[in-house]
Amino acid sequence: MKTITSLSNPLIKAWKKLDTKKGRREAKEFLIEGEHLIEEALKSGCVKHILLLEGLHHPFCAKEQAIQVSQKVLDELSSTNSKAQMMAVCSIVEQHVQTRNKVVLLDGVQDPGNLGTIVRTAVSFGYDQVILSKECVDLYNEKVVRSTQGALFAISVITRDLVEEIHALKQEGFFVYGTSLHEAVFLKDRKKTQRCALVLGNEGAGVSEQVLEECNQNLMIEMDQFESLNVAVAAGIAMYTLRYE
């Protein structure tokens, strides 16, 4: 097995650039950390290299992509202070779906934890695809990847112009729900349809007016107090409700 112990190694220098969105997009690669995430990534076939602490005995060692590295190399590449023992370099591969019946669209969601939680929830409730606007936080931000708990590798997540994508969904026979506190019906009173798309917006501004204009119906969650919920919480309630149509 190949061993790398120096921070000046060209591969380590290249992988260090994956700390940034620009570096990830240029290399079409991203880093993940921890056994669970690596196992999920291996199932999807996107792992290029597994980096293991030298001397560590683990089934990953049998993988032909495995490279032994020193702790200082892992510390250099890790975005946490957890003294990582294993990391992986993964390819950015846009997954597509042949057929789709339930889709989530996100308009400018900025918090990494919110985005990761919504992706994880979409997988849990059997949604086919998550579509991000170009203003969303980077899908491959390490905090997003970590908060998906591996769900990132189990669903198609693409970045598109939402107005154009809504037009395409409507042509496929989708009914598109926006989410808003204005000109909206309660979730329980919605028009029911089997092929649906749910649009959720930015944590502060919500869904943009331009996108809302393209939706068939706006929804709001009926509550006893407060006007709005955290976007990830609202997404979970709405996705759970819509899944049974």
CATH of the domain at 118: 3.40.1280.10
The rounded average pLDDT for each run of 10 residues, N- to C-terminus, in the chain (245 residues) is: 92 96 96 94 94 90 90 92 89 89 97 97 97 97 95 96 97 96 91 94 94 96 80 96 84
Residues 125 and 227 in one domain: yes
Residues 9 and 65 in one domain: yes
Instruction: Single out the residue in 53, 72, 91 at which a domain terminates.
Output: 91
Residues 106 and 80 in one domain: no
Is 178 inside a domain boundary?
Answer: yes
Amino acid symbol at 143 = K
Is 149 inside a domain boundary?
Answer: yes
Strand partners, 4: 69
Residues 111 and 65 in one domain: no
What domain count does the chain have? 2
Beta strands 86-91 and 47-53: pairing type?
antiparallel
Within a 10 A sphere around the Cβ of 12, how many other Cβ atoms?
A: 19
Residues 120 and 204 in one domain: yes
Residues 138 and 212 in one domain: yes
Residues 223 and 106 in one domain: yes
Instruction: Single out the residue in 49, 70, 91 at which a domain terminates.
Output: 91
Residues 38 and 11 in one domain: yes
Residues 194 and 132 in one domain: yes
Is 26 inside a domain boundary?
Answer: yes
Distance of CA 175 to the CA centre of its chain: 23
Is 96 inside a domain boundary?
Answer: no
Distance from C-alpha of 147 to C-alpha of 92, rounded to nearest angstrom: 17
What pLDDT, on a 0 to 100 scale, did the predictor assign at position 226? 66
Within a 10 A sphere around the Cβ of 19, how many other Cβ atoms?
A: 16
Strand partners, 132: 106, 159
Distance from C-alpha of 225 to C-alpha of 97, rounded to nearest angstrom: 39
Instruction: Single out the residue in 56, 91, 126 at which a domain terminates.
Output: 91
Residues 157 and 82 in one domain: no
**CATH code for position 77:** 3.30.1330.30
Is 106 inside a domain boundary?
Answer: yes
The encoded tokens of residue 163 equal 């107005």
Domain extent for 64: 2-91
Residues 66 and 168 in one domain: no
Is 97 inside a domain boundary?
Answer: no
Residues 142 and 162 in one domain: yes
